[in-house]
Every structure is written in C-alpha cells, then in structure tokens.
Amino acid sequence: MPYSIIIPIYNEEKTLDKLLLSLKKYSFSKNEILIINDGSIDGTKKILKKYNFINVIELKKNYGKGIAIKIGLQKSIHNETIIYDGDLELHTDGITMLMELNRDLGIHSLMGTRFNNLSPFNSKFEWGNFMFTIFFNFLFQSCHKDILCCAKSFYKYDVPINKLNSKGFDIDIELSSFLTKSNKRKRIQHRLIKYNRRDIQQGKKLRISDGWIILMRLIKSI
C-alpha cells in the first residue's frame, strides 16, 4: 500500500541533496514524498527544484515544525502516513521499517526510537528526552522509548488533524499523545533507527528553551 512520507525542512541546504537522493528509492508504488519547506532563507528552495520525484509545499515564512507537519497532513494524499525529519540525524533506511502498518495484524502505529533502551545519554538534549519519555509514560501508562523521536507512521484518519495546536517541536508530543490514546488497547510498536547525532554548530535547531514549550504541551495533552 502507498504511503505519504511527510518531511518538514528549514535551512537544510548543506545536507539536502544527500537527503533527497536517499529518498528516491521510496518514490515507487505510488508513494508520495511530500517536502514542506518551512520558509527557508538559504538555498533550500533552489535545491528542491532539481528533483521531480518529490512534491513540495512552500511556506512563505518559518511557521515552525508543528504547523509545517499539520499542513503536510492536510495536503497529503494517502491515509498511510510517515512523519520523518529532514536533517539526516535519522538514517533514511528507517523509513522502510515504518512501512509496516497493518490493521489486520493490529499494527495501527509505529514509532521510531534512537536508543536501544531508556538509558542516558551523551548530551543535555538526550537527557531531556529521557525525562520527557519517563514523564509521558507515567501520565499515559504507556511504554514509549523515545518520545521526541520524529519518526512515526500511522493512519492519518486516526489523528484529529484540525485539533493539532503545536507550532514547534512540541508536535512530537501532541502526535504521540493522540496515537497513544487511540491505540490504548494495543501496544504501539517501536523500530530502532540508526541515529547520527548532530549539535547546534552542525545545524541542530532544538534549543533548551523549547523544553518548556514541550513540557506545557505534554501537560495539556493529558
């Protein structure tokens, strides 16, 4: 069955060619590769024009990851949906592992994890993710391994898209909460995805200040 692969990007000109070339293998069987250019001000737009196997939505300004993903969900054509980051922290081979949705087998949602188990970690961002994951699991009585991992697959119509309110990185919490609630009688499966850590100097956009927004979103999602 075909998937819509939704990837929000912002100012990724340094790695964008490598990303898109690695995505070409997914442009088969009517899969949709939908890139949401979230108001990039570097050479991202020019690079995107070189590739004819992707669909691109150009946003006039940088609205934030949450809004970019919401627009992608509204515009995508398939029910089977994959959300993935476009910064190459996650190896794109992980997309294959997320293409295993199967209602008949009870697989309604798959979530990526960058870690084998809940054990910290080598940066303040990973420590923060560890704490958010523990807190999320406590609140929702769930067993997630990496709650801020952007890699997810699900059936789009299981998510109330118009109720998504996140503007930034808190979208991962909001999506995870909806998916956890809708699949509360089923254990959401996880897939370990190869992870190439990058720091702020290398283009990482998550900041410590985003942690407060993520925390507020987590509390509101209960």
The residue extents of the domains of the chain are 4-220
Q: What is the pLDDT of residue 122?
A: 64
At 117 the three-state DSSP class reads: coil
Q: Are the C-beta atoms of 20 and 51 separated by less than 8 Å?
A: yes
Q: What is the pLDDT of residue 127?
A: 82
Q: What is the pLDDT of residue 118?
A: 46
Terminal alpha carbon distance of the chain: 33
Fold of the CATH domain 4-220: Spore Coat Polysaccharide Biosynthesis Protein SpsA; Chain A (3.90.550)
Dist. CA 13–CA 95, nearest whole Å: 21
pTM over 0.95: no
Q: What is the pLDDT of residue 191?
A: 95
Q: Are the C-beta atoms of 114 and 149 separated by less than 8 Å?
A: yes
pLDDT tens-place values along the chain, 222 residues long? 999 999 999 999 999 999 999 999 999 889 999 999 999 999 999 999 999 999 999 999 999 999 999 999 999 999 999 999 999 999 999 999 999 999 899 899 999 998 865 455 566 778 888 899 999 999 999 989 899 999 999 999 999 999 999 999 999 999 999 999 887 656 689 999 998 876 656 556 666 677 888 889 998 888
Q: Strand 152-155 relative to strand 55-58: parallel, antiparallel, unpaired?
A: unpaired
Q: Are the C-beta atoms of 166 and 174 separated by less than 8 Å?
A: yes
* 115-121: long-range pairs with CB below 8 Å, 24+: 115/145, 115/146, 115/192, 115/195, 116/192, 117/145, 118/145
Dist. CA 182–CA 161, nearest whole Å: 13
